[in-house]
C-alpha cells in the first residue's frame, strides 16, 4: 500500500532515515522534533507516527515520546519497510 500526499512523503523520509540508522533503535523522538525536522503540521506528523506504529517500527507513549524499536521487531514483510531497507 503506497501512501500519497504529504503524510506519505514524510512517512517515506522518516522510514528511510530509520532503515539507514540515521535515527537509531532506542532513540526517543518527540512529535515536535518531527514537525521541525520535516517542516510539517502536528496532524501530518501524528499520522506518519500512527503508520509507523502499525508497521511495528516505533512505539508511542504519552509522557515518554516516540521510541524507535530494534529493526528485528519491525514488520519486515511490509512492502514499504522492504523498500526503505533497500533504498
Structural domains present in the chain: 5-86 (1.10.10.10)
**In sequence order, what are the residues at sequence separation of 6 or more whose Cβ sits closer than 8 angstroms to the Cβ of residue 36?**
none
4: confidence class by pLDDT, cuts 50, 70, 90? confident
80 DSSP assignment: H
70 DSSP assignment: P
3: confidence class by pLDDT, cuts 50, 70, 90? low
The predicted model gives 18-47 an average pLDDT of: 93
Q: What pTM was estimated for this model as a whole?
A: 0.88
pLDDT of residue 35 exceeding 90, the answer is yes
Amino acid at each position: 500500500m503506497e501512501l500519497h500526499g504529504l503524510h506519505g512523503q514524510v512517512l517515506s523520509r522518516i522510514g528511510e532515515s530509520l532503515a539507514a540508522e540515521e535515527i537509531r533503535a532506542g532513540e526517543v523522538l518527540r512529535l515536535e522534533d518531527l514537525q521541525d525536522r520535516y517542516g510539517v503540521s502536528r496532524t501530518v506528523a501524528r499520522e506518519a507516527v500512527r503508520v509507523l506504529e502499525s508497521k511495528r517500527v516505533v512505539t508511542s507513549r504519552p509522557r515518554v515520546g516516540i521510541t524507535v524499536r530494534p529493526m528485528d521487531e519491525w514488520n519486515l514483510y511490509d512492502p514499504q519497510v522492504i523498500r526503505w531497507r533497500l533504498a
